[in-house]
Structure 1
Amino acid sequence: MLMTRPGFDTLYEALLNRDPSYDGRMFVCVASTGIFCRLTCPARKPKPENCSFHETVAECIEAGFRPCKRCRPTTPEASADPVVKPLIEALEKRPGYRWGEPDIVRLGLDPSTVRRAFKRHFGMTFLEMARQRRLQEGFSTLAEGGRVIDAQITAGFESASAFREAFAKILGQAPGGFASEPLLYADWVSSPLGPLVAITDRTQLHLLEFLDRKALPTEFRKLNAFAKGQIGFGRTEVTDQIQEELNRFFKGKGGTFETKLALHGSAFTRDVWRELLTIRAGETRSYSELAHALGRPEAVRAVARANGANQLALVVPCHRIIGADGSLTGYGGGLWRKQRLIEIEQGYRKTAAG
């Protein structure tokens, strides 16, 4: 089943409320002005009789409407923000640099404005994002066999204790606690939506999570207990495979993943995850539909809990579960990521439709 299209009244209410859960997924075309907008556009709201709603920019243009110059619906929201774009570009050029508010001021930007913009778009501040990137650089050094002190320097930390504390905050364990002869190997993989931690053995992917996922330390501890404390740093062929598949996915060249998965959870939880794997890119389900597909229509809440417990982001597509009214619902990686993933997968949906 393809994504349930919300009714006119629901979409018009979302337009009046500037509901961000529909941003990038639905657009409003205004007959009285000949333009189309995001549902979050700050412009004065049109009368309902002048509105029609479409799922893509292409449909709006094909219907003869011009893009609004205020909300810029043809540009991804974060990229359209003049505060966000230069800082993202600067961070990519200097990922190991220790960014601070004076650097933001030197770029001619107001720190409070930057803080609000990044929180709105990404759910974190620019300085938090920069700190995460520095840790990512240090993680790479460890995965390549480097010493903790080398990783600390690469990550731009002057203090060893500060580096250990920051590292432990992400995974719940300091670098010195990792195994030297591991059964499972931890490394990071990149994506346009931010870096992810990948934990693999020689044949399977056990965990794939965004570095800023709040549940990551808990998930890591559970997996480490399963491995009897034998998680270490390193990269396997499985890590390389999932990186290649993620690259193809984000370039629009492949909506499926072939990496072999290790599913850790109760029998019911694993059943939910296997059912999620049947949902193709470009399609969505509601929690109720997922429960019915499992033959457990009364277990909607249990299905929702199992969906939220997924520790294989993107690959087990829990982001394809939306509200019964078509709105976005909670997502551990952040609603901004869920929105972007659904936008990307609309392209796979159109390809399948041929």
Structure 2
Amino acid sequence: MLFDLPSDDTLYAALLARDPAYDGQAWVAVTSTGIFCRLTCPAPKPKRVNCRFHASVATCLEAGFRPCKRCHPLTEGQDPAVRDLLEALERAPDRRWTEDDVAAQGYDPSTIRRAFRRQFGMTFLAMARLRRLGRGAKALRDGGAVIEAQLAADFDSASGFRAAFARHLGTAPGHLKADALLQADWIDTGLGPMVAVSSKTHLHLLEFADRPALPRELKVLQREAKGSLGLGRLPPTDRIEAELTAYLAGQDAAFDTPLHPGGTPFQRQVWEALRQVPAGQTRSYSDIAQAIARPEATRAVARANGANRIAIAIPCHRILGADGSLTGYGGGLWRKRRLIEVERAYA
């Protein structure tokens, strides 16, 4: 962050006063409307309880808020091309965007790919595709036929839709059982869509939908459940969604959803040690090795950290390199950086 935000009380006072001193340095996201504004916005002021303050336009967008149409917060310090395409996506969130569409907007697709990766950790087309897939997953979960889900996701063909789900879930949607032992569903978060897989009593997986390892992890779950993996929502998914919402809003860092992370006894020992690291603090791999009384096992700890398939609730993002660097993160380093920033409120 280029600017360390003052307290929320200070920023809320600045919002009420429309203080220009913070213009371009702080933005307010309003949970009751789903929009974000400059602190100088002329619109009626929201209640304090509905305000979330951010130090960049990017984090407002990552948290799922739309730009205000009165104060136009995207025009300050934002790449014009990124701004224009985000506004186009807001106007047509279900459109099947292609690089030809990007070019038709007057932009070079390769330049746009770099700009979006730099700011969001994913390309513009990937962002648009995940939104379409999320609609399709929800249509299937709600009992829709494959063709209805295909239309909801705006794919040109049923085969295209099936292929997309095959990449994410490891099987075609028509093969997924409604009464499966494990059921997968999408959760929309401020850091992008996540896939949750639950049984009736436990959460078995929580991963970002664009994580490269997700298809492999889902296939492992299918084997463990003897093929009984379907699309649907069970109580642990509802519970983890509520906890994620509170966590990302800076309200509560506790995750009490019952977990079933799988893994070997050693891996489970490492994952339990990760859960003991308080929100707002970080550790190194060697710190975790010391915590489990295996000081020689730093590399094995690193492998176990990477094998974690329950993101955030088992906080592998709190592990840094010995030199303090972010090191790898399956959900993308931009998300790891954002999670560490979120947890500053819990320090």
Q: What corresponds to 1:94 in structure 2? A: 92
Secondary structure at the counterpart of residue 145 of structure 1: coil
Q: What corresponds to 2:109 in structure 1? A: 111
Counterpart residue identity of residue 145, structure 1: G
Correspondent of 1:173 among 132, 146, 171: 171
Q: Are 1:81 and 2:81 an aligned pair?
A: no
Tell me the CA shift for residue 280 of structure 1: 1.3
Q: Give the Cα separation in 1 of the matches to 2:327 and 2:168.
A: 24
TM-score of the pair, normalised by structure 1:
0.76
Secondary structure at the counterpart of residue 205 of structure 2: strand
Once the two structures are aligned, what percentage of the paired residues are identical? 53
Q: Structure 1 residues 180 and 319, CA, compared in 2 at 3 Å: closer, same or farther? A: same
Counterpart residue identity of residue 56, structure 2: T
Q: What corresponds to 2:128 in structure 1? A: 130
Within 5 Å, which residues of 2 pair with 1:250-329? 250-329=248-327
1:168-198 deviations in Å (ceiling 9; x for gaps): 1122222122123211111010111100001
Within 5 Å, which residues of 2 pair with 1:1-354? 24=1, 56-58=4-6, 74-75=55-56, 80-82=77-79, 83-105=81-103, 107-349=105-347
User: Of the two structures, which has the highest relative contact order with CA contacts closer than 8 Å and spacing of 6 or more?
Assistant: 1
* Kept after mapping to 1: 8 A contact 2:261/2:308: no
Tell me the CA shift for residue 339 of structure 1: 0.3
Q: Give the Cα separation in 2 of the matches to 1:293 and 1:112.
A: 46
Q: Give the Cα separation in 1 of the matches to 2:255 and 2:91.
A: 30
Deviates more, 1:107-116 or 1:331-340: 107-116
Q: What corresponds to 1:43 in structure 2? A: none
Tell me the CA shift for residue 298 of structure 1: 0.2
Deviates more, 1:180-189 or 1:106-115: 106-115
Q: Structure 1 residues 291 and 76, CA, compared in 2 at 3 Å: closer, same or farther? A: farther
Q: What corresponds to 1:11 in structure 2? A: none
* Kept after mapping to 1: 8 A contact 2:206/2:310: yes
Secondary structure at the counterpart of residue 314 of structure 1: coil
* Kept after mapping to 2: 8 A contact 1:207/1:312: yes
Q: What corresponds to 2:67 in structure 1? A: none
Q: Give the Cα separation in 1 of the matches to 2:240 and 2:121.
A: 25
Counterpart residue identity of residue 136, structure 1: G
Q: Structure 1 residues 85 and 205, CA, compared in 2 at 3 Å: closer, same or farther? A: farther
Coordinate RMSD, CA, aligned: 2.6
Counterpart residue identity of residue 81, structure 1: Q
Unaligned 5+ runs, structure 2: 8-20, 26-53, 62-76
Q: Structure 1 residues 270 and 85, CA, compared in 2 at 3 Å: closer, same or farther? A: farther
Secondary structure at the counterpart of residue 208 of structure 1: strand
Q: Give the Cα separation in 1 of the matches to 2:296 and 2:150.
A: 51
Q: Give the Cα separation in 1 of the matches to 2:150 and 2:246.
A: 32
Q: Give the Cα separation in 1 of the matches to 2:93 and 2:135.
A: 7
Counterpart residue identity of residue 291, structure 2: A
Counterpart residue identity of residue 223, structure 2: A
Q: Structure 1 residues 161 and 330, CA, compared in 2 at 3 Å: closer, same or farther? A: same
* Kept after mapping to 2: 8 A contact 1:287/1:300: yes
* Residues paired across the two proteins, number: 291
* Kept after mapping to 1: 8 A contact 2:207/2:311: yes
Q: Structure 1 residues 233 and 253, CA, compared in 2 at 3 Å: closer, same or farther? A: same
* Kept after mapping to 1: 8 A contact 2:320/2:327: yes
Tell me the CA shift for residue 221 of structure 1: 0.6
1:270-313 deviations in Å (ceiling 9; x for gaps): 01111111111101100000000000000000000000000001
Secondary structure at the counterpart of residue 313 of structure 1: coil
Q: Structure 1 residues 127 and 185, CA, compared in 2 at 3 Å: closer, same or farther? A: same
* Kept after mapping to 2: 8 A contact 1:179/1:229: no
Q: Give the Cα separation in 2 of the matches to 1:92 and 1:319.
A: 30
